[in-house]
Amino acid sequence: MDFQILISNLTNPTLLYFLLGIIASIVKSDLEIPASSSKFIALYLLFSIGFKGGQELTHSEFDIEILYSLIFGVFISVAIPFYTFFILKKKLSISDSGAVAASYGSVSAVTFVAAVSFLESRGMASDGYMVAVMALMESPAIIVGVILIMLFQKESRTPGHLSKIIKHSLTNGSVLMITGSLIIGLIAEAKQAEGIKPFTTDIFKGFLAIFLLEMGMITAKRFKAFRKYGLFVFAFAILIPLINGCLVAILSGLFLSDPANRFIFAILAASASYIAVPAAMTLAAPKADPGLYIPMAIGVTFPFNITIGIPVYFYCVNLNLF
């Protein structure tokens, strides 16, 4: 692997702010981002990537490659929670297995943003329709996780329960914001859209750095919460994303030619949700421990992906085996 890629990623200012957040938590600093500001920044990031993706989509002709990409994205978000559930239930409860499986089948918008930033630093860009792929991958994983819990845990089979979860997964704030922004960006007139470009583009990385600063503080705090679960969950939170990301980076070469799009697919397959899934699982699997699946996603998988994972998946894409 080209270690210049790794060094470049580790010296990215946005990542360094993430590390600063970890340090701030370790030394028990009083540094904090107000909750209202944090929520605004999270919504801004979703708004920005959704809107820019919609604008890019207007310049893309709908072809067979886009169709294959959308189908492949949904397939990934169904397949990952399905196979990981059976690995997890050997060591964890049914509820915990379903919640963790759903987290790893769904996606992390912040990891997606970090990946887009990495591509930009190398003078590359993925197509706008990849934002649509990401938006489509949120809900199927949640639905599969819930179905598996209901199949293997009899007390979870209540009338109308699944329909409520499906509705909740589709109307979740993060899903609605990125999907709605994608549609608005798609129908917005190009000259009118230029008027908000300074807001959607120029200040994007600055807000991302502040958001990752808070993510670093949260990571350090929540990492301690799940150590009682032992080596199994720690190994899972690193190895499963690594396998998923590398496998998708290679297999996507069967129907995609653009290395930037293939790289984004690898990131989507490797990331784990810590926003949409916890919100849905509060209703779907109240017995599942959020002190397990949230720290796994944000305390282990997220920092692994933005430090080591990103350059590894980029390397796998460039193997060009197909």
Residue 25 confidence (pLDDT) above 80: yes
Residue 264 lies in a domain: yes
Instruction: Please write the tens of the pLDDT for every residue from 233-250.
Output: 999 999 999 999 999 999
Structure tokens at 260: 């930037």
What is the average per-residue pLDDT within 144-148? 86
Q: Minimal CA–CA distance to 8: which of 103, 121, 85?
A: 121
CB atoms within 10 A of CB 72: 21
What is the average per-residue pLDDT within 89-97? 92
pLDDT value of residue 9: 61
pLDDT value of residue 46: 77
Task: Report percent pLDDT > 70 for the chain.
Answer: 88
Query: Packing angle between helix 35-58 and helix 173-187, nearest 10 degrees?
Result: 40
pLDDT value of residue 225: 62
Instruction: Please write the tens of the pLDDT for every residue from 42-82.
Output: 888 878 877 877 787 777 677 788 888 989 999 999 999 99
- Kindly give the residue spans of alpha helices, DSSP state H, lying in the chain: 3-10, 13-26, 35-58, 64-88, 94-105, 109-121, 129-152, 161-171, 173-187, 190-194, 197, 204-223, 231-251, 259-270, 276-284, 290-295, 302-304, 310-317
DSSP, collapsed to helix, strand or coil, labels residue 288 as coil
Residue 291 lies in a domain: yes
| Cα–Cα distance measured from residue 285 to residue 283, given in angstroms and rounded to the nearest whole number | 6
> Is there a contact between 130 and 137 (Cβ–Cβ < 8 Å)?
no
Residue 290 lies in a domain: yes
pLDDT value of residue 270: 97
Q: How far is CA 229 from the centre of its chain?
A: 23
Structure tokens at 37: 């500001």
pLDDT value of residue 155: 60
Range of the domain at 245: 3-19+36-317
Q: How far is CA 59 from the centre of its chain?
A: 25
pLDDT value of residue 268: 96
User: For the chain, what is the domain count?
Assistant: 1
Name the pLDDT band for 5 (thresholds 50, 70, 90). low
Instruction: Please write the tens of the pLDDT for every residue from 168-192.
Output: 666 767 667 877 887 888 888 877 8
What is the CATH number for 212? 1.20.1530
Residue 3 confidence (pLDDT) above 60: no
pLDDT value of residue 185: 84
pLDDT value of residue 226: 67
| Cα–Cα distance measured from residue 131 to residue 182, given in angstroms and rounded to the nearest whole number | 8
Residue 30 lies in a domain: no
Residue 27 lies in a domain: no
Residue 41 confidence (pLDDT) above 60: yes
Q: Which residue has the higher pLDDT, 64 or 322?
A: 64
Q: What is the chain's mean pLDDT, rounded? A: 83
Residue 31 lies in a domain: no
Cα-Cα-Cα-Cα torsion 275, 75, 311, 112, nearest 10 degrees, comes to -30
> Is there a contact between 238 and 296 (Cβ–Cβ < 8 Å)?
no
Residue 237 lies in a domain: yes
| Cα–Cα distance measured from residue 111 to residue 119, given in angstroms and rounded to the nearest whole number | 12
Residue 25 lies in a domain: no
Q: Quote the pTM value.
A: 0.78
Name the pLDDT band for 273 (thresholds 50, 70, 90). confident
Instruction: Please write the tens of the pLDDT for every residue from 210-236.
Output: 888 887 887 787 766 667 778 899 999
